[in-house]
């Protein structure tokens, strides 16, 4: 089980960090966490800020710990010899440590962390082959190198669950649409793919018919049948010829409320032969669901149809 650490956990936490250093040295990592890092003062501050977490067994014995911190992290502002996967909001994992090797404790902590956020960045020492193996196994991408405030280099990693889903979706859509020219058939399959993968509240298309948008293939509850050019988010995306991301539909001027359940929205134009033939409309019942990541990947995916 996982919970936030308390000041009463300090003795056990320092013991876990001590054992983690022993594991590092035994694996050939001789240069990380020297001079007693992390100090009790650092760990105490993590607890004070509410970012220290522990993994414990049924007998309440702590077997692993990490600092799970909302970004941005100032040391990640610049990355060298590479680039981050994207600029999505992220959390950082620092000071992750397990008392014993081979118990998948670090992987368990990371799996829990991804229930709290879609995107995580983490760094590790070049000699920490154990952590590098864990990160590779978990699906993290090596992005480059960052430097700590003291000038020490660290290998930088990032994993974005949403990006991974979009990559898989892109490949699946490419297989389905290759050789298929029927636009409605492709819109039907794509709306089903997106809706199943992401479980958005509403996913579908509006087709350009004359001077209005007409409801096309979709997944979700019933929707508005027709939308005029330049009206609402869909009509505005058509008029502007660009993707529109709306964090809060109540703040979008002229928003057409097909349902009060919709709280945020993204609309992506579908181009064919130099003109817009439809728009992909996705709604969420949560605020701020859609980011630059959704915009970039959905634009790539609709090009396939």
Within this chain, do residues 24 and 124 fall inside the same structural domain, yes or no?
yes
* pLDDT for res 4: 97
Within this chain, do residues 20 and 72 fall inside the same structural domain, yes or no?
yes
| Average pLDDT value for residue range 3-11 | 96
Task: Quote the DSSP letter at residue 296.
Answer: H
Within this chain, do residues 152 and 194 fall inside the same structural domain, yes or no?
no
| Inside any domain, residue 44 | yes
Mean of all residue pLDDT scores within the chain:
95
| Inside any domain, residue 13 | yes
Per-residue pLDDT for 43 more than 80? yes
| Inside any domain, residue 170 | no
CATH number of the domain enclosing 69: 3.40.630.30
| Inside any domain, residue 188 | yes
> pLDDT tens, 84-109?
998 888 999 999 999 987 668 999 99
Q: Is 138 helix (H, G, I), strand (E, B) or coil?
A: helix
Within this chain, do residues 122 and 260 fall inside the same structural domain, yes or no?
no
Q: Which residue has the higher pLDDT, 260 or 65?
A: 65
Within this chain, do residues 21 and 138 fall inside the same structural domain, yes or no?
yes
Weakest-pLDDT range from 121-130, 251-260, 295-304? 251-260
Provide the domain count of the chain.
2
Per-residue pLDDT for 129 more than 90? yes
- Give the residue numbers spanning the domain of 61: 2-160
Q: Is the entire prediction scored with pTM above 0.85? A: no
* pLDDT for res 276: 98
Contacts 24+ apart (CB under 8 A), 25-31: 27/128, 27/129, 27/130, 28/127, 28/129, 29/125, 29/127, 29/128, 29/129, 29/130, 30/127, 31/125, 31/127
| Inside any domain, residue 291 | yes
CATH number of the domain enclosing 245: 3.30.450.40
* pLDDT for res 21: 94
Within this chain, do residues 65 and 153 fall inside the same structural domain, yes or no?
yes
Within this chain, do residues 134 and 34 fall inside the same structural domain, yes or no?
yes
* pLDDT for res 131: 95
| Inside any domain, residue 171 | no
| Inside any domain, residue 172 | no
Per-residue pLDDT for 59 more than 80? no
Per-residue pLDDT for 220 more than 90? yes
Within this chain, do residues 155 and 228 fall inside the same structural domain, yes or no?
no
Per-residue pLDDT for 165 more than 90? yes
């Amino acid at each position: 089980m996982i919970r936030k650490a308390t000041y009463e956990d300090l003795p056990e936490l320092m013991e876990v960090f001590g054992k983690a250093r022993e594991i590092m040295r035994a694996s050939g990592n001789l240069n990380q966490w020297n001079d007693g890092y992390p100090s009790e003062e650092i760990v105490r501050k993590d607890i004070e800020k509410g970012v220290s977490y522990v993994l414990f067994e049924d007998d309440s014995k702590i077997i692993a710990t990490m600092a799970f911190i909302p970004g941005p992290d100032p040391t990640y502002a610049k990355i060298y010899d590479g680039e981050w996967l994207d600029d999505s909001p992220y959390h950082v994992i620092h000071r992750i440590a397990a008392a014993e090797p081979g118990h998948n404790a670090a992987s368990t902590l990371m799996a829990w962390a991804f229930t709290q956020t879609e995107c995580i960045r983490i760094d590790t020492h070049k000699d920490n082959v154990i952590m590098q193996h864990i990160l590779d196994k978990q699906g993290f991408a090596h992005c480059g190198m960052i430097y700590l405030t003291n000038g020490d280099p660290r290998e930088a990693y990032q994993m974005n669950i949403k990006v991974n889903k979009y990559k898989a979706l892109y490949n699946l859509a490419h297989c389905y649409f290759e050789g298929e020219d029927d636009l409605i058939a492709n819109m039907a399959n794509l709306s089903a793919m997106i809706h199943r993968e992401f479980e958005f509240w509403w996913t579908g298309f509006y087709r350009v018919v004359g001077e209005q948008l007409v409801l096309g293939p979709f997944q979700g509850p019933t929707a508005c049948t027709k939308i005029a050019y330049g009206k609402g988010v869909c009509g505005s995306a058509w008029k502007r010829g660009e993707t529109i991301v709306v964090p809060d539909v109540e703040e979008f001027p002229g928003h057409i409320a097909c349902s009060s359940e919709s709280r945020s929205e993204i609309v992506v134009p579908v181009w064919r032969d130099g003109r817009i033939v439809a728009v992909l409309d996705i709604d969420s019942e949560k605020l701020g669901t859609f980011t630059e990541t959704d915009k970039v990947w959905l634009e790539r995916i609709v090009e396939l149809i």
